[in-house]
Amino acid sequence: MVSIIKKVALLGILALAVLYLLPQLSSIENSLKVLSTLKPWAISLAIIAQFISYSGNGMTTSECVKLTGNKITTLRGMLIALTSASIGLVAGGMFGSTASTFRWVKASGGGNDGSSLAASLPPIFVDIALLAVSVIGLVFLLFVHDLTRTQVISFSLVTLLLIALAILCFLAVKHQKAAIEKMLVILEKFYVFFKKDFPKEQTRTNLEKLFATGTYLIKGGWKGPLKGASFNIFFDMLTLYFVFLASGKSISVFVLIAGYGLPWLIGRMAFIFPGGVGVIESAMVALFITLGIDKALATIAVLVYRVISFWVPSLIGFIVLPILNAITGKKPIQD
């Protein structure tokens, strides 16, 4: 019976993928036509850089599991990150992606705690890496290029909000007992509002585990996951750089950083749009135009970059889905 339910769920997800992706195929097809007119050697480098970028995702997932003393391979982590992102695209967004990551990491030998960390921490480390890139880009934009008032306000607010959240998390870990009590009060009010019984002691235990992990991260456990996230962001930026080269335009490092970081941060905050579709593209094109790049060139480069970094990996994720289900249904492969 469980096997039948799993197969039905798998077919349901694949059906949703078809329904979601079919309307996008025309734009993907147009971008692929443009792709064929670009310099093959630079496009090849962009594809290689994107593959390495996804290995950074796998490294982050693997390093998060290692924090609990368990172990999964970087390759397995990469497959899980790739497929979970595809599921999140059509089923539940961030929640669907988190749930599928937890399930597959646990089935791969990550344990309950390792699976929880692998499902929750990687996006945080990616956001930290993006924040660092965005701050550099914002400083460059403010002092070197003219921005509209709306752009200055929106970009500054996004960056300041994320910095404030980072500081808040740091203070919460430093003052654990007070933070846990405040969080319990807030959570209890939510439960009361929705007329649900509040499992206070169980919630306290879970929060204590979470803060214990935070303490470990601050003492040095952050290095591995952040290395993987930085790897992911660096080679994703390199993908965009090679796409510009393929279109005949060599852009400076600062232009690349400025045009990449802020749009991605905004896209991740606009979580109601799966994968930041539409938000990232429009923000990137607008910024690159502001930075002096021709509109047609910026549009082509960004669309081709999104095909290589988002649409193709999403399609691959759905192809890998039944394979990952099969290998995690067996005895986990050990390093």
Choose from 67-71, 89-93, 142-146, 187-191 the range with maximum mean pLDDT: 67-71
Domain ranges across the chain = 32-72+124-313
Whether residue 258 contacts residue 287, with contact meaning beta carbons closer than 8 Å, is answered with yes
Tokens of 18: 């078809």
DSSP 252: -
Residue 183 buriedness (CB in 10 A; 0-12 / 13-18 / 19+): middle
- Report pLDDT for 11: 42
pLDDT at 273: 55
pLDDT tier at 12 (50, 70, 90 boundaries)? very low
Q: Measuring CA to CA, how many Å separate 277 from each of 121, 270, 273, 284, 303?
A: 23, 9, 6, 12, 11
Instruction: Name the band, by pLDDT with cuts 50, 70 and 90, for residue 214.
Output: low
Q: Check whether 83 has a pLDDT greater than 80.
A: yes
pTM confidence score: 0.74
Do 46 and 239 touch, CB atoms closer than 8 A? yes
pLDDT reading at 315 higher than 90? no
CA angle 106, 108, 111 (to 5 degrees): 35
Using pLDDT thresholds of 50, 70 and 90, give the confidence band for residue 3. very low
> Does residue 26 register a pLDDT over 70?
no
